[in-house]
């Protein structure tokens, strides 16, 4: 029996997603996104959970965004709820790219405080995109509980998420500048500096903030 050409192409693309060559996997994901088909969704999500190469994962995400949100979002939500760390992180990243606010209920306080830094960072980014209008301040309050967490990359991700919420986060951030924990205070002060001057590098901002905290300040002396 001769398979229809489109079926042959589909099978070739699906096999390509599992190829040992990262360039072949990249081309397969590109092909799937170029010719979206609901039959690809499960395999794309499955591959996101185990794909080791960042640039291939980005192409897999792009391919998923090329499919109808009504079909991809439920599958991605299942990954967020039950997948491993990479599966959850990549599913959240993809949901942020799709931007369908029906996914908002999966962004729980527990997820925003996930023990895995990559999952938490993806959740912060997705939350800023998916938060319903009028709930930004509540989100800022939850995000602020993570101030001082992790190393530079994690802290920068959180600062960017808070800044992405706009002015509504400023009172919450201001309160954090007087937190008893010096790491929280320094992170809050650094984030305020980035808000005021986006061209300030985070490394410089955090080191300056540490200096201010060490001297017993709250970072607002310059405004007085």
Are 208 and 102 contained in the same domain?
Answer: no
* pLDDT of 214 over the 80 cut: no
Give percent of the chain above pLDDT 90.
77
Provide the terminal-to-terminal Cα distance of the chain, rounded to the nearest Å. 81
Same domain for 176 and 89, yes or no, is no
CA-derived radius of gyration, the chain: 21
Do residues 117 and 161 both lie within one domain?
no
d(CA 144, CA 121): 13
Predicted TM-score of the model (pTM): 0.88
72 & 181 share domain: no
Helix spans in the chain (H): 5-16, 22-34, 41-48, 54-65, 69-82, 85-98, 109-112, 117-130, 136-144, 152-164, 170-176, 182-196, 202-214
- Is 177 a member of any domain? yes
In a domain, 5, yes or no: no
- pLDDT(6) > 90: no
What is the C-alpha separation between 74 and 95, in angstroms, rounded? 10
Predicted confidence band at 137 (pLDDT cuts at 50, 70, 90)?
A: very high
Query: Is residue 111 domain-shared with residue 24, that is, in the same domain?
Result: yes
The conformational region for residue 150 under phi > 0 = left, psi -120 to 50 = alpha, else beta, is: left
Q: Are the CB atoms for 219 and 177 separated by under 8 Å?
A: yes
Six token digits for residue 162: 């808070």
Mean pLDDT along residues 17-33: 94
Domain span at 181: 152-219
Q: How far apart are CA 174 and CA 43, in angstroms?
A: 45
Which domain CATH number covers 15?
1.25.10.10
Indicate whether 122 and 170 sit together in one domain. no
Does any domain span residue 183? Answer: yes
User: 40 in a domain, yes or no?
Assistant: yes
Give the angle subtended at the CA of 150 by the CAs of 188 and 138, to the nearest 5°: 50
User: Residue 71 domain-assigned?
Assistant: yes
The tokens of 131 are what?
């938060």
Q: Is residue 141 part of a domain?
A: no
Report the number of distinct structural domains present in the chain.
2
36 with 91, same domain: the answer is yes
> Domain check: are 109 and 157 in the same one?
no
How high does pLDDT run on average in the chain? 90
Q: 158-213, pLDDT tens digit by residue?
A: 999 999 999 999 999 999 999 999 999 999 999 998 998 887 777 767 778 778 77
Domain match, 123 and 162 both = no
Same domain for 57 and 159, yes or no, is no
Does the residue 202 lie in any domain? yes
19 plus 103 within the same structural domain? yes
* In a shared domain, residues 124 and 156: no
Structural domain includes residue 166: yes
Closest CA to 14 of 53, 52, 60: 60
């Amino acid at each position: 029996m001769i398979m229809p050409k489109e079926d042959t192409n589909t099978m070739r693309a699906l096999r390509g997603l599992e190829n040992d060559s990262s360039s072949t996997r990249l081309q397969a994901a590109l092909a799937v996104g170029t010719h979206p088909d609901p039959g690809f969704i499960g395999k794309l999500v499955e591959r996101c959970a185990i794909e080791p190469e960042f640039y291939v994962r980005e192409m897999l995400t792009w391919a998923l965004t090329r499919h109808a949100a009504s079909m991809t979002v439920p599958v991605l939500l299942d990954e967020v709820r039950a997948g491993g760390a990479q599966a959850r992180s990549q599913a959240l990243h993809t949901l942020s790219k799709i931007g369908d606010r029906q996914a908002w209920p999966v962004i729980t306080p527990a997820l925003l405080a996930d023990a895995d830094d990559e999952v938490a960072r993806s959740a912060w980014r997705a939350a800023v995109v998916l938060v319903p209008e009028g709930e930004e301040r509540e989100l800022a309050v939850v995000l602020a509980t993570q101030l001082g967490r992790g190393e530079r990359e994690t802290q920068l991700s959180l600062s960017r998420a808070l800044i992405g919420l706009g002015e509504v986060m400023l009172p919450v951030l201001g309160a954090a500048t007087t937190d008893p924990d010096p790491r929280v205070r320094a992170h809050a002060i650094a984030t305020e500096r980035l808000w005021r001057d986006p061209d300030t590098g985070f490394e410089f901002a955090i080191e300056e903030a540490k200096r201010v905290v060490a001297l017993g300040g709250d970072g607002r002396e310059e405004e007085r």
